[in-house]
Amino acid sequence: MIIHRFDESNSILLQFISELRSVEIQKDRMRFRRNLERIGEILSYEMSKQISYQKQTITTPLGTKVISLPEDKIVICSILRAGLALHQGVLNYFDQADNAFISAYRKHLSDSEFEILVEYLASPSLENHILILADPMLATGRSFINVYDSLKKLGAPKEIHLFAVIGSEEGLQNVSAHFPENTHLWIATVDEKLNEHSYIVPGLGDAGDLAFGEKMQG
């Protein structure tokens, strides 16, 4: 796996990450969602340097100009529900992309054990498309892995790009072992460990709850 992480050099991205983490600032749900969206935009801009381009002649009111424009077909797939704000940031930049949505959630079997369930999928064909899988938290990596396994029946993507905001070292190792070697991971920052409930430490808490409110699990 080809990993691109953005916490090893100074940029305005670090401010957005700090606001997501801060126990005071993260209480503002609108700002929390907007910071996820901003990070999605930054990751998209960086990833856009990797895709294929084709020169096209553009007509202006005063003449013509040859400009290189993206030629790849892209599908953005977010993992509900935490991935929605990140998805919007990606879509702001790749505004011609097709979109897919898939649910993946933790069903707790005990205080320390859980399984990842995938129960809803709406997606176009992925055949020969660039697939962007977006989920803010890369904890164990099991959400990305289970979602990818569910998407395989929809065709073979040209490329796979994973977008995440915060990950753990364990999560990075797990997705690296499961995804094709030429998969790209675009991640804002990486923390060292998981706690006994498999949450990233220090992390930021539950991204879905912080963005959209607390949930009850049936």
Give pLDDT tens digits for 36-47.
999 999 999 999
Angle made by CA atoms 101, 107, 111, in degrees to the nearest 5 = 145
Could you give the angle at the alpha carbon of 35 between the alpha carbons of 210 and 183, nearest 5°?
A: 95
Output the pLDDT for position 218: 53
In 2-151, DSSP assigns E strands to: 2-5, 53-60, 63-70, 74-80, 98-103, 105-108, 114-117, 121-122, 130-134, 137-138
- Angle at which helix 169-178 crosses helix 142-151, to 10 degrees, equals 20
Question: What average pLDDT does this structure show over 74-79?
Answer: 95
Do 170 and 76 touch, CB atoms closer than 8 A? no
Check: CB of residue 26 under 8 Å from CB of residue 209: no
Q: pLDDT confidence of 119, banded at 50, 70, 90?
A: confident
User: 208 to each of 4, 34, 204, 212, how far by Cα in Å?
Assistant: 24, 13, 11, 6
Mean pLDDT computed over 190-212: 94
* pTM for this model (two decimals): 0.92
* Contact between residue 116 and residue 146 where contact means Cβ atoms under 8 Å apart: yes
pLDDT at 52 over 80: yes
Q: Which domains does the chain have, with CATH numbers?
A: 2-51+73-212 (3.40.50.2020)
114: closest CA among 194, 173, 188? 194
Mean local confidence (pLDDT), 147-158: 95
- pLDDT score, position 109: 54
pLDDT of residue 82: 87
Residue 163 pLDDT grade (very low, low, confident, very high; cuts 50, 70, 90): very high
Residue 110's pLDDT is 56
C-alpha distance across the termini of the chain, in Å: 36
